[in-house]
Structure formats: structure tokens, C-alpha cells
A = this chain, B = another copy of it.
Amino acid sequence: MQTQVAGTSIVELARKVRAASIQAAQLSSGAKQNLLTRLAEALEQNREALQQANQGDVNRAEENGLSGPMLERLRLKDTVLDQMALSLREVAQLPDPVGEINRMARRPNGMMVGRMRIPLGVIGIIYESRPNVTTDAAGLCLKAGNACLLRGGSEAHETNMALGNLIAEVLEAQHLPREMVTVVPLTDRAVLTEMLKLEDEIDLIIPRGGEGLIRFVAEHSRIPVIKHYQGICHTFVDASADSEMATSVIVNGKAQRPSVCNATETLLIHHQALQTCWVSMAEGLLKAGVELRCCDRSWGLLREKGLETAQVKRAEPGDYGQEFLDYILAVQVVDSFEEAVRHIQRYGSNHTEAIVTQDHQQAMRFLREVNSSVVLVNASTRFADGHQLGLGAEIGISTTKLHSYGPMGIEELTTQKFVVLGEGQIRQ
């Protein structure tokens, strides 16, 4: 039995999106740039109506006793709307990835063989309460020539429907099918489960939200899913590290914004750096309000130096490999480079790891031996972000090694087909 959605089923809805994706793939660069700019303008011109719809969601959320930070995320403040419009304008200006041909080379029989970048087709985005995802995802998918099916959280339903209608109107004004960006008008789990089985209509699912949602999607989807569950990021301070640089990089990695997935969660210190760097790092971290969960050796040195404040604790085994998302840092002294790498392999989540070192050979070894999605030498883990790494915009971060690994921009919403230019060649 199929769930009925506004008089239609999710599979019929998805088929219309699939049909619209053929047109999306053929949009010219100019048309896409224009479309995204029109979307930004529509957001600005309909500020009041959008905020009114959002107020409905906020009121319901308050009645349901939604907590502070979640309510904050839901709220369509002026600054949020401004940022949504700005993001669309920025993505509009990025170079068009579609149609790029590379590696064109001649084969012995004279054929030219290369690869041309093309859209994936239909992207399904599953997300929670943040309404900005609706326009961010629509903009990135369209820029890469994809149609999309957006399934937001029930808390933000009224806001998402208002945004979806606005996007549909802009599409129609450009003589494009409104289904090119479709906000799923129902939010119950049965619809989601059904959507995740539509492998003929949807090419890729990107879940954005808490680990529970992501695990649900990964378990129930027959469509490829690109995701990351956690960001358990490590910074390794090597024997040769410069104390000042190590302090600056770890304080930034941990405390610049502790609630996000690229914040450092565990500090590994080479035993030779214990005397040279640890006191300076600890002072910087304590000053930034970070609680330190220390192994025996790192704790011992702080005690010796009289730095044993209430913020300094003994680590429990469960502190390693934990995603605190808070002003808390696990600290472990290791006896060698190899031990640091093994610790990362055991406790890491393939997200982001950094080394601080003055030794070129150790820097190169770290790049080679640590296969997390972002590996940094002498820079803060906080740079693991599409904007920061130069992708222009980001639709998510993948720690699944397939298709895309690390921050995903518009290029990661495309694939490459083989193109062959012959002169009548046949196979012998």
C-alpha cells in the first residue's frame, strides 16, 4: 500500500522529479546563474510571508516544549534569511561543473577518449529542523544540474512548504517544471521509508542531522547514501612541534567552535613534546575554558607545574573516541609516531586529523599513513569545511569513501561519463 501525499503517492511525486531532472541536466550555465539569482531575490521580497509561516512552526514547537538551541535553529530570523539569499548568490557565481571534459587523450587506434562531467540526476536530501537547508540544498543541486526531493523535519514543515512554493513559483516564472525542486509535503516516517526504496527515481540520498536520523536512513535505504556519523578529530603534536604553533592550532581546533564536527576531540602528544609543548598548550586550553581529560603522564606534568585546577581531570577509557561537541578535550601521550597513527585508526571516525610538526619526513608520513577524509599538517582541524578548502559551498561531509570523501561541493553532486570521438573505428 502506498502512502498518499496530497492526493498523490511519494513514488508518483518522485517520478515527476525524475522527469524534471532531464531538463535540469540540460540547463545552460547562464540559465542556472539567473535562476539562483532570482531565487535569492524571491527570498528577500517574500521575507514577511516566510517569517509568518515560520512563526506557525515556532509556536507549535513552543507548545510542544522544544528546547532552546533547537528552537533557535528553527527560527527564520532576518540574519538567517540574509545568509540564505547570500549563499544562493555565491553558488550562482561558482563555475558550472557540468560539461567540463578532462583527460581527453588519443588511443592507439586514433579515437579520442575523455571524461565529461554530468549531473547525478535526482538528489534526495533528508534533514531536520534547519529551514536554511531547503534553499542551500536546492541551490547546490540546481547548480550541478540535478533535480531534488527535499524531505525536511516535521518541526519546520510550514516554513519548508512556504519555501518550496516560493522556489516552485520562481521555476515556473523561468518556464521550468516546478517539480525540479520538490519539498515532500508529508513528514511521517512511513513516507520516508518508502522514499528510501525508490532506487529507480532517486540517484543519491544525503541525510543531514543527528546520528539517529542518519543511521535510520543508512539502514533503510536501497539508494546510495553519502553521510558521516561523527567527527572524532585528532590533533597529534609530534616530537619536533613548535610550542607556540602547537598551542595556537590546538586551542583553535578545540575551542573556536566546539559544537561542530571538525572540532578536535582528542589531543595526542609525542612523549618528547610533553616537556616542550604541553604546559603552553594546557595553559591556552584552560584559558579558553576547556576541560582536560588527561592520561597519567599529561596529568602528572600539570600537577608538577601546579596547573591542577578543577578543569583538569583524569581520563576514563571512554573519553578516547568520544565526540564531546563541547569544551572538553581528551589528552593522550604516545611513545611514538606509530602509536599515534594506531590510536587514530582505532578511535577515529575517518573525518579529520592534524599533525603539528617541524619534521618534513614525519609530515609526509602522516599524509601518507592517515587515511581520514581531511588530513592537515600544521593547520587547525577547523579547516575541514568546503568553504575553507576552496569548494565554494558545501552540501555535507562524507566519511564513506565511496563517490566523495570529505567536504562535498557542487562537483561532488556530479559524475563523469566517458566520451569518445571517433572516425568510424571498429573493434578488431
Contact = CB atoms under 8 A, between A and B. Distances in A.
Interface string A200-219: 00011000000000000011
Nearest to A403: B403
Interface stretch (A87-95, A105-113, A319-327): A105-113
A22 interface: yes
A390 interface: yes
Given A26-B369, A373-B417, A245 B424 contact: yes
Contacts of A368: 26, 99
A389 interface: yes
Given A219-B222, A256-B426, A369-B26, A375 B405 contact: no
Interface string A410-428: 0000011111111111110
Contacts of A203: 401-402
Interface string A242-259: 101100110111001000
A51 interface: no
A377 B420 contact: yes
Nearest to A386: B418
A349 B216 CA distance: 30
Interface in A220-262: 222, 224, 242, 244-245, 248-249, 251-253, 256
A311 interface: no
A402 B414 CA distance: 9
A119 B401 CA distance: 9
Task: Say how many copies of this protein the assembly contains.
Answer: 2
Interface residues of A, number: 71
A373 B252 contact: no
Interface in A368-392: 368-369, 371-380, 382-384, 388-390
Interface string A95-136: 000010000010100010100101111000000000000000
B376 A420 contact: yes
B380 A418 contact: no
A362 interface: no
A46 interface: no
Nearest to A401: B415
B248 A422 contact: no
A400 interface: yes
Given A116-B367, A252-B427, A256-B427, 20 more contacts: A26-B368, A107-B388, A113-B389, A120-B401, A224-B400, A244-B424, A245-B424, A252-B426, A256-B426, A372-B417, A373-B417, A374-B418, A374-B420, A375-B418, A378-B424, A379-B422, A380-B427, A382-B427, A383-B425, A389-B418
